[in-house]
Amino acid sequence: MMKKYLWSFALSAIVLAGCGKKEEPVAVAPAPVVSAPAAAPVNTEEKVLNIYNWADYIPEGMIATFEKETGIKVNYDTFETNEALHAKLVAGNSGYDIVVPGSVFAKPQIEGGLLQALDKSKIPNLSNLDAPIMATLAAKTDPANKHLVPWAWGFTTVGINKTKVAKALGKTPMPENAWDLVFKPEYTSKLKSCGIAYLDSPTEIIPVALHYIGKDAYSNDPADYKLATDMLAKVRKDVRIFSSTMIDDIAGGKACVAIGWSGDINIAAARAVENKSKDEIESLLPSTGALIFFDTMAITKDAKHPNNAHAFIDFYLRAENAALMSNEMNYPTANKAGVPMVKPEIAGNKTIFVEADYFAKMIPPSSFSNEAREAMANAYNSFKKGK
């Protein structure tokens, strides 16, 4: 760099020397050699950024603030399942620059070359992230944290409309283990009257079913999927909805119990309060534990706007933006610098930022091989068809 600079300094001196009239040489002291400041890289990309994220995951106004500040126009699309995002990435030319896979899918996506390594020099706010969470991601999913930046984390659990569930259960008391509400015929046979909803995704339901029957939630053994679907078959007739939009399902009254994501269930709870509903919605903490997930931002291998993508990732990692996500979307942030800015009612909600003793019994995410995912999809689809 220095050599190059001296070379161009000399070149411009020659060019300058060739201009104007010839003069008598004058003795001058040699100019001191100064090192040039490193030139800021120029972002020559078109001012566009295409983002593909989960539905109901970004605070209102955040995209507009980024656009106003940078002049970059953001096209923001949403998906509802990891499977939907994965299919787009595998097909290639998705057109998206930033995607937000769950870590369970991000691992095979990194291994399959679908995501590019980040240029960390363009993301100074990486230092805001929580070191233990990053160490976990590095150990289990993304060696040396080369590709992934956490968007949020949360857990898969059971959400209920407390009022309707109490009515449907009648004299039957609530079970100690909330998973019984969605997996045990004694409960499902009663709750079917007010609506049971399952996430419409094999990699969401099979792991919780495996956990319920005492198997490894991230088993890669298809024989285990058979055991899980044998258990599920007993309650199949009681499940009314397969959907990944539990906010509408529970808050809109289509279901009184749902397998869903902690933050979305809390959004449904807040919506019921806003709407002055007489029904109370609650995200439960099953006694045997819930399944933790990390959703992570990554830049696609064929992104057309990688510089803009880095700029957005750094913007999102500002402490105040991370806190805004937790405050509005009810998911814990992995941004340590942002945590002090989280509202006390969110930070103190044990179904959002869970307490240490419950966290200890939660099931951390792992991943599945491509073959296992295929076997799981087949098992799940057969279960849905009631076979």
Side chain identity at residue 183, one-letter code: F
Q: Which are the contacts of 223, defined by CB distance < 8 A and separation ≥ 6?
A: none
- Residue linked to tokens 């099979």: 206
Task: Return d(Cα 279, Cα 266) in angstroms, integer.
Answer: 14
Shortest distance, position 115 Cβ to ligand SPD, whole Å = 17
Contact (CB, 8 A) for 49 and 16 = no
Residues that bind ligand SPD (CB under 6 A): 54-57, 102, 156, 204, 261, 264, 293, 295
Nearer to ligand SPD, 45 or 80 (CB): 80
CB of 264 to ligand SPD, least distance (A): 5
Residue 228 · residue 213 · CB < 8 Å: yes
Q: Which is closer to ligand SPD, CB of 59 or CB of 222?
A: 59
**Closest distance of CB 57 from ligand SPD, Å:** 4
Give the helix ranges, DSSP H, for 195-261.
202-212, 222-233, 246-251
Inter-residue contact 312 to 74 (CB < 8 Å): yes
Nearest approach in angstroms of CB 144 to ligand SPD is: 23
CB of 104 to ligand SPD, least distance (A): 6
259: closest CA among 246, 271, 270?
246
* Residue whose CB is less far from ligand SPD, 94 or 367: 367
Nearest to ligand SPD of 142, 295 (CB atom): 295
Least Å distance, CB 121 to ligand SPD, is 29
Shortest Cβ 353–ligand SPD spacing (Å): 16
Query: Cα 42–47–51 angle (5° rounding)?
Result: 115
| Max intra-chain CA distance, the chain | 109
Closest C-alpha among 226, 277, 268, 222 to residue 248: 268
Phi and psi dihedrals of 192, rounded to 5? -60, -25
Please give the structure tokens belonging to residue 334. Answer: 């992995």
Asked if residue 198 lies in contact with residue 255, where contact means CB atoms within 8 angstroms, the answer is no
Residue with Cβ nearer ligand SPD (86 or 305): 86
Closer CB to ligand SPD, 246 or 299, in the complex:
246
Give dist(CA 254, CA 245) in Å, integer. Answer: 11
Closest residue to ligand SPD, judged by C-beta, is 293
Nearest to 328 by CA among 264, 381, 257: 264
The distance of closest approach from Cβ of residue 249 to ligand SPD in the complex, given in angstroms and rounded to an integer, is: 13
Q: Between 150 and 306, whose beta carbon lies closer to ligand SPD?
A: 150
Quick one: 198 or 293, whose CB is closer to ligand SPD?
293
